[in-house]
A and B are shown apart, each in its own frame.
Chain A
Amino acid sequence: MYPSTFEYYRPSSVSEAIQLLSQNPDAKLLAGGHSLIPAMKLRLSSPTALIDITRIPGLSGIRDAGDRVVIGATTTYDEVMRSELIQRTLPILPEAIDVIGDLQVRNLGTIGGSLAHADPAADLPAVMLALGAEFKAIGPNGERTIPVDQFFVDLFTTALQPNEILTEIAIPKPAGRTGMAYEKFANPASGYAVVGAAAVVTLGNDGRVSAARVAVTGAGPYAARRTETEQALVGQAPTTEVIKQASQRASEGMTFNSDVFASDEYRAHLTRVFVGRAIAKAAQRAQG
């Protein structure tokens, strides 16, 4: 058997899961397992216990909460992209999920698992930053809300405490004339994002950009907003020239990853190009 031995727990409530986390400091939460199990098979990760949270009632599912859409943490990619509510209100999610992994991965991988794992090349972190999501986490001292802008703090590191569980992702429904797009340059072998760019653009009645959120993943150690680019868009009509100028600023103030496939210089270039494409597509969709 490939992985080393571990205890397997299957709690039936969040509080039971938190108790197990406190009792087993080397435990890992198991949801879809599609980042964790491959790492365990290679023994890159050898947790002493797995706490399977997929059968906890209420942790999975998608609901309409008025001005927000709330997605349970153990909802699979496949369930998210097939949700009529998501397709109608947050079409960037199906667009991004469609280019994650492959069908088998999307059938089991969960939205909360991906976000809590915070792989620097995962797609959804950039999408959540662009959407302005809020994360609900429950720990021994109760629950708290973490805004997405404070969630991704470093490589594979989030604002979650070791004994906290991410339970819900709440996403505001976009206002008025809003368009959104995800553009990805995928590694041809792994399918992971070398660079992925997400843009959510809202237009005012005058046709100018009234709000913009732009974020990238894959480029640096963790997914990040590109605020200089956002500021260069707001108040402007989204012309080709304006988008070009704004996307030129997308690589400012960022540290880029460098590997055998793409140097830091190349990733900076890809960031500018794919941010530009995502904004152009989002603006076009906002115009209807």
Chain B
Amino acid sequence: MQITVKVNGVAHTHDVEPRMLLVHFLRDVLNLTGTHIGCDTSQCGACTVLMNGKAVKSCTVFAVQADGAEITTIEGLARDGQLHPVQEGFWEMHGLQCGYCTPGMIMTAVDLLQRIPNPTEEQIRHYLEGNLCRCTGYHNIVRAVQYAAEKMRA
């Protein structure tokens, strides 16, 4: 089936099998490998992208469902060589070790900050529930989101 998906501002038209997952369309067809696959069971959130502005797990969406949608991946966040405030927050607050979960964490945090510009620590932890980090605790990830919230409000 032919689909057209706008990814990071660029429209892409391809023939895909209906069973192709959006994450495989992004990684294998468009070569946007910043979106990671961490589990096979829709739990870890590493594959999170924005679909029409909302955080979704791209391993739990068929590419055909994204036909006509606007997708933002981790590759689409920086502007003119400037990191997005959430990316900067992860850099500044040491919000990652191995980095595998980071793209998904960042995309979910972007959705959160669109809804709640000044989230409490409890709200940050609640909204990141669908993203798993196995390196360490979530402490610096929370601090990274707080850093971004402050920067985006300034």
Contact = CB atoms under 8 A, between A and B. Distances in A.
A37 B129 contact: no
Contacts of A6: 18-19
A1 B21 contact: yes
A259 interface: no
Given A2-B40, A54-B65, A104-B108, A8 B18 contact: yes
Contacts of A90: none
A41 B45 contact: no
A105 B54 CA distance: 11
Interface of B is mostly: mixed
Interface stretch (B55-63, B72-80, B93-101): B55-63
B19 A104 contact: no
Nearest to A78: B54
Given A5-B17, A6-B18, A107 B55 contact: yes
B24 interface: yes
Contact of B60 (A54, A78, A103, A108): A108
Contact of A102 (B21, B24, B45): B45
Nearest to B40: A41
A52 interface: yes
Contacts of A33: 60-62, 65
Interface of A: 1-8, 10, 30, 33-34, 37-38, 41-42, 50, 52, 54, 78, 98, 101-105, 107-108, 191
Interface of B: 1, 17-21, 24, 40-42, 45, 48, 51, 54-57, 59-62, 64-65, 108, 111-112, 126-131
20 contacts: A1-B20, A3-B19, A6-B18, A6-B19, A8-B62, A37-B61, A41-B21, A42-B41, A52-B65, A54-B65, A98-B126, A102-B129, A102-B131, A103-B112, A103-B129, A104-B56, A104-B57, A107-B51, A107-B111, A108-B54
Given A6-B18, A33-B61, A104-B48, 4 more contacts: A37-B42, A37-B62, A41-B21, A42-B40
